[in-house]
């Protein structure tokens, strides 16, 4: 009995001593740092739970916003995520889990329970039940809809969501590919007529002349079916061709340049019109995606990354170069462009099989043995090329292509938040995402990465990154200073002390241009989802004050509230009087 008491006393003394030792080692600085880490983890977990709850109710847009916030808590903290093992593990697994929820597949389901354990989230039974429900909701095989469209939907990972939602958190995140309609297209009796139609006959003779003259930059065999597709586009397919020719203006200059650099005839780039109608977010029923409609396997084969951070099949330059290289491979394999185009559509295996059955490397000989979609596909592209090169001759002279999409390309540091890029280039996060449809979320990949930014803004962005330390990239905001403004006025409107502002902008005696505003804490709501205030367009010497918009404000409403002229305020900020303002947006009020 006495021995047992001694053992208990000894154990108690050991526990007390151990606890005292731990307490002695935990200085106020260490405890404060740990509290900051715990706050980041807790705030992230709270937003993640909100995202799950919204997803369960099929409020996909709301769920996407909440999941974004759960990630942005890390990006806007003042902590070095890379140096803290727990933060780094939680952040990395969070990115992967959100990706698996947004783009689900049976082979890689989101491990939500494991994420909660990694992040140390204190969940109760109801939270775990919600996590299991979400994991089930996003499991494609568990949500197939038994109707006539099931076979088509099943080809797209996650397409069989409640209420028919597609993958992604926004139901309109992807646009249908024109290839889906093309595969079902049946030409009418009138469209098939060539010899008995004087106009079609004259156009068919022109095709023969253009091919013999090599005016298109490459050769192909003339066949009546090419003219039959021209007949289709001059009739019931006219709107489709008009839309394609218009949208081609945005990307064709870039496509021609890259195809030329890769040694591909520039006119072959019109393949993009048939593939996607020049829509970077187009997706076919076979889960092919982007301007050039790569399926995941072929995209990976030609260097297009597909991770939780990016899907480069939806990129502009990278996907275009991959397309040119794939076409070059196919041309070298078959020796003519018709079979190369066929291979691009249905894969080398199907083309090889058709050639074996035909006994010759000839598209029209192999035609009966190719998939129906491919039989439509090749003459369709050739018809498109002919129309695009002589639009006036085919009744499309009135179509004016859209202006070329202009942008600069800049290499940015790893895990750069798009909010900082938006502020540095005087634009919005939405526009940065528009220029980079391959980015999965509002942060760049975890390695230095080249992204597209508004044209003419690359030097300003580079200047910003040269000034800001790497450790502060994601906890720094920018503010546009007004001529004559002091550090005190910037402090008044940002809530950051003068000393902190001066320290964040070494060598700048007075505010000039864009100034750094250090972020203190997890200020997720400071993300620039709306266009920041534009530089002053009024005459030098006119002062201005800054007013922050409230929820529901328009320029006119804010101006009226502060006693200013709505038209002048709109003009001064590069906006319209009815422009809707996000809560917290800074608006300059010129002195009257």
Contacts of 427 (CB under 8 A, 6+ apart): 454, 457, 531, 532
Task: Give the per-residue pLDDT at 107.
Answer: 66
Task: Give the per-residue pLDDT at 573.
Answer: 66
Task: Give the per-residue pLDDT at 587.
Answer: 84
Instruction: Look at the block and give the residue holding tokens 């280039």.
Output: 425
Q: What are phi and psi of 544, to 5 degrees?
A: -150, 155
In whole angstroms, give the CA distance from residue 185 to residue 123: 53
Enter the tokens of residue 415: 């895990």
Task: Report how far Cα 48 is from the mean position of its chain's Cα atoms.
Answer: 21
Q: What pTM was computed for the model? A: 0.68
Least confident of 38-52, 91-105, 158-172, 576-590: 158-172
In whole angstroms, give the CA distance from residue 295 to residue 284: 9
pLDDT one-digit tens code per residue, 107-132: 678 899 999 999 999 999 999 999 99
Residue 514 has pLDDT above 80, yes or no: yes
Residue 551 has pLDDT above 80, yes or no: no
Task: Give the per-residue pLDDT at 82.
Answer: 65
Q: Which residue has the higher pLDDT, 64 or 301?
A: 301
Task: Give the per-residue pLDDT at 106.
Answer: 66
The confidence band for 2, taking pLDDT boundaries of 50, 70 and 90, is very low
Q: Which residues pair with 525 in a beta bridge?
A: none
Residue 359 has pLDDT above 90, yes or no: yes
Instruction: Look at the block and give the residue holding tokens 């750094």.
Output: 516
How big is the CA angle at 366 (ends 361 and 371), to the nearest 5 degrees? 130
Pairing of strands 175-176, 449-454: unpaired
Half-sphere exposure (Cβ direction) of 236: Cα atoms closer than 13 Å:
8
Mean pLDDT of 493-505: 86
Task: Give the per-residue pLDDT at 576.
Answer: 61
Task: Give the per-residue pLDDT at 586.
Answer: 76
Contacts of 319 (CB under 8 A, 6+ apart): 290, 291, 292, 294, 299, 304, 312, 313, 438
Residue 454 has pLDDT above 90, yes or no: yes
Task: Give the per-residue pLDDT at 58.
Answer: 82
Residue 100 has pLDDT above 60, yes or no: yes
Half-sphere exposure (Cβ direction) of 148: Cα atoms closer than 13 Å:
0
Q: Which residue has the higher pLDDT, 144 or 467?
A: 467
Total residues found in the chain within this entry: 592
In whole angstroms, give the CA distance from residue 497 to residue 504: 11
Q: Residues 227, 207: contact at Cβ < 8 Å?
A: yes
């Amino acid at each position: 009995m006495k021995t047992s008491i001694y053992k208990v006393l000894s154990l108690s003394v050991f526990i007390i001593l151990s606890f005292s030792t731990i307490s002695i080692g935990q200085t106020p600085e260490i405890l404060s740092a740990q509290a900051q880490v715990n706050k980041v983890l807790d705030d992230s977990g709270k937003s993640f739970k909100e995202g799950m709850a919204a997803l369960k109710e099929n409020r996909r847009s709301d769920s996407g916003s909440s999941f974004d916030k759960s990630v942005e808590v890390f990006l806007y903290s003042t902590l070095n995520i890379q140096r803290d093992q727990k933060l780094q593990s939680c952040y990395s697994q969070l990115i992967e889990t959100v990706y698996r929820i947004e783009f689900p597949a049976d082979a890689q389901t989101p491990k939500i329970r494991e994420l909660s354990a990694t992040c140390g989230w204190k969940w109760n039974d109801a939270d775990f039940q919600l996590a299991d429900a979400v994991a089930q909701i996003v499991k494609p095989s568990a949500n197939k809809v038994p109707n006539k469209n099931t076979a088509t939907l099943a080809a797209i990972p996650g397409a069989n969501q409640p209420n028919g939602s597609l993958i992604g958190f926004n139901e309109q995140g992807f646009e249908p590919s024109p290839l889906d309609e093309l595969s079902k297209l049946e030409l009418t009796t009138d469209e098939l007529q060539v010899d008995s139609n004087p106009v079609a006959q004259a156009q068919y003779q022109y095709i023969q002349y253009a091919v013999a003259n090599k005016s298109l930059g490459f050769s192909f065999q003339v066949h009546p079916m090419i003219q039959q597709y021209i007949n289709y586009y001059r009739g019931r397919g006219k709107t489709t061709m008009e839309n394609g020719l218009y949208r081609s203006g945005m990307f064709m200059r870039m496509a021609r340049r890259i195809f030329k650099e890769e040694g591909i005839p520039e006119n072959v780039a019109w393949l993009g019109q048939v593939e996607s109608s020049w829509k970077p977010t187009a997706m076919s029923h076979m889960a092919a995606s982007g301007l050039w409609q790569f399926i995941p396997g072929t995209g990976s084969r030609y260097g297009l990354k597909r991770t939780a951070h990016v899907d480069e099949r939806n990129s502009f330059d990278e996907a275009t170069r991959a397309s040119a290289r794939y076409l070059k491979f196919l041309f070298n394999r078959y020796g003519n462009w018709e079979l190369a185009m066929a291979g691009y559509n249905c894969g080398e295996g199907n083309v090889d099989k058709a050639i074996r059955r035909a006994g010759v490397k000839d598209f029209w000989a192999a035609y009966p043995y190719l998939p129906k979609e491919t039989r439509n596909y090749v003459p369709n592209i050739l018809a498109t090329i002919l129309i695009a090169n002589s639009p006036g001759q085919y009744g499309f002279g009135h179509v004016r292509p859209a202006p070329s999409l202009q942008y600069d390309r800049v290499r940015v540091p790893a895990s750069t938040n798009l909010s900082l890029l938006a502020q540095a280039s005087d634009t919005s996060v939405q526009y940065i995402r528009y220029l980079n449809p391959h980015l999965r979320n509002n942060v760049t990949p975890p390695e230095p990465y080249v992204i597209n930014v508004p044209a003419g803004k690359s030097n300003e962005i580079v200047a910003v990154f040269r000034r800001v330390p790497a450790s502060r990239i994601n906890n720094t905001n920018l503010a546009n200073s007004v001529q004559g403004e002091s550090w005190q006025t910037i402090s008044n409107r940002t809530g950051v002390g003068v000393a902190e502002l001066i320290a964040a902008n070494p060598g700048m005696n007075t505010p000039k241009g864009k100034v750094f505003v250090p972020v203190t804490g997890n200020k997720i709501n400071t993300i620039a989802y709306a266009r920041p205030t534009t530089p002053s367009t009024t005459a030098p010497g006119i002062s201005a004050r800054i007013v922050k918009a409230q929820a529901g404000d328009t320029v006119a409403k804010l101006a009226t509230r502060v006693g200013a002229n709505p038209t002048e305020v709109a003009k001064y900020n590069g906006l319209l009087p009815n422009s809707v303002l996000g809560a917290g947006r800074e608006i300059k009020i010129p002195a009257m």
